[in-house]
Amino acid sequence: MPRDRFRKGTVLSLLALLATPHAAHATDALTNAADIVWVSVAAGLVFFMQAGFALLEGGCSRAKNSTNVILKNFADLCFGVLGFWVIGYGLMFGSNSTGWFGMDHFLPDSSPGNEAVFFVFQAMFAATAATIVAGSVAERMRFWPYLLASFVITALIYPLSGSWVWGSFYEGSGWLAQRGFVDFAGSTVVHSVGAWCALAAVILLGPRLGRFAKDGTPRTIPGHNLPMVALGVFILWLGWFGFNGGSTLAASQDVGTVLMNTQIAAVLGVIGTIMCAGLMRRPMSAVTILNGGLAGLVSITAGCASMSAGFSALTGLIGGFVMVLSGMALEKLRIDDVVGAIPVHGFAGAWGTLAAGMFYTGDVFNVSRIGIQLLGIGAVFVWSFGAALVLFGALKVVIGIRASTLHEQHGLDYTEHSDVGYPEFQASLAPRS
């Protein structure tokens, strides 16, 4: 039957795609004009995700901090891309003979050809990892230490673990890739790394003033603009088509598989979140439901090219549950994550990476593959969380990372930028002398 033939063809092409590392060697990737156009468009979509993050995180913050959060998103893109260009790209994609990190192609030139397109696409991924931190540390982290952290994350923390999985664009291969670790578009490589860095940061920062009562009861601090949050999630969802779809690095039929799985998992992520919230008798708040879509998207990012639609649905559905339950666990531990980035990107990302091994087409529930996925999830956690603890710990000791309580009271928009986000409706707050 034609349908069977299509399925077999798809499976074979996917297996061929996954048999080679995520980024094929420079000589045979991105040489076709259509591929270059597709990956360039995808890079634009991933760039647009920064706007989504800015709206989501800005909306989840109180009005007095919204500009600060959005500016952090904007600036971490700049500092992040700079760090990735100068050091990160070489560490992640340079010739990787040891399996641990690349050793050349630092500060790559913008010469015509596949490398420049690949760099732009990957730089957007690096910036995504960095910007995840902004939402968790919102409303109490100082601007300068945040920018320095963004630079170090994209220059060192993100690319080093990234090279273990994707570091084979020129020569060599990462040690996790050699073992068959699957993370097609970065559930672990991008999203979990950002989230584990955020986890280290929020542990060292501590919660916002009054976020938890003395007995540990969490207190909700509503964001100032839920429509902004919703629009941000819509934009992120759109951008994800570039994030996952562009990771094929080719304008091929595989893109359809990736996009379909991405869409199905996102939808089921929302449904899973609603189900879980209902079962746990948690309020179905807008932010929770919207985050459900992101949890589904993050979950499917690792396995979107190597799963059937049914397993994609299951991955997204469970991703929603994982996000809600891990968010509750973090609250119990008095960890204040303003936008819920750690449950969405960290825990749902880890689940998605595990699912990519469990539901691998043609090799479902292979214990050895699942073991390798767990090894990768654990190794990346140990590296990124540990390195981020050192990074934020050093920043805390040397220049301080937490805004003073006075600044927290007044709002970081004013104290960090001398700005007021909404001068009209904040007229009663705006300084007049």
Q: Which residues bind another protein (CB under 8 A)?
A: 208-211, 213-214, 219-222, 405-407, 409-411, 414-415, 428-433
| Half-sphere exposure (Cβ direction) of 112: Cα atoms closer than 13 Å | 1
Reference 384, options 60, 72, 11, 126; nearest CA is: 126
- Smallest distance from another protein to CB 380, Å: 35
Q: Which residue, 222 or 278, has its beta carbon nearer to another protein?
A: 222
- Smallest distance from another protein to CB 421, Å: 13
Q: Which residue, 76 or 413, has its beta carbon nearer to another protein?
A: 413
Q: Which residue, 212 or 234, has its beta carbon nearer to another protein?
A: 212
Q: What is the largest CA-CA distance in the chain?
A: 78
- Smallest distance from another protein to CB 410, Å: 5
Calculate the CA 208 to chain-centre distance. 23
Q: Which residue, 22 or 62, has its beta carbon nearer to another protein?
A: 62
Q: Which residue, 171 or 419, has its beta carbon nearer to another protein?
A: 419
- Smallest distance from another protein to CB 172, Å: 51
Q: Which residue, 221 or 275, has its beta carbon nearer to another protein?
A: 221
Q: Which residue, 113 or 222, has its beta carbon nearer to another protein?
A: 222
- Smallest distance from another protein to CB 267, Å: 33
CA dist 77 and 54 (Å) reads 11
Identify any residues that bridge with 212 across adjacent strands, giving them in sequence order: 218
**CA dist 301 → 18, 38, 112, 159, 360 (Å):** 14, 18, 29, 18, 13
Cβ(304)–Cβ(262) below 8 Å: yes
Q: Which residue, 27 or 428, has its beta carbon nearer to another protein?
A: 428
Say how many C-beta atoms besides its own lie within 10 A of residue 189's C-beta: 33
- Smallest distance from another protein to CB 182, Å: 43
Calculate the CA 383 to chain-centre distance. 16
- Smallest distance from another protein to CB 219, Å: 4
- Smallest distance from another protein to CB 404, Å: 8
CA dist 93 and 208 (Å) reads 38
Cβ(284)–Cβ(271) below 8 Å: no
- Smallest distance from another protein to CB 417, Å: 12
Q: Which residue, 112 or 210, has its beta carbon nearer to another protein?
A: 210
Secondary structure in 3-state letters for 139-179 = CCECHHHHHHHHHHHHHHHHHHHHHHHHCCCCCECCHHHHC
Outline where 361-427 has alpha helix (H): 367-398, 405-410, 412-417
3-state secondary structure of 402: strand
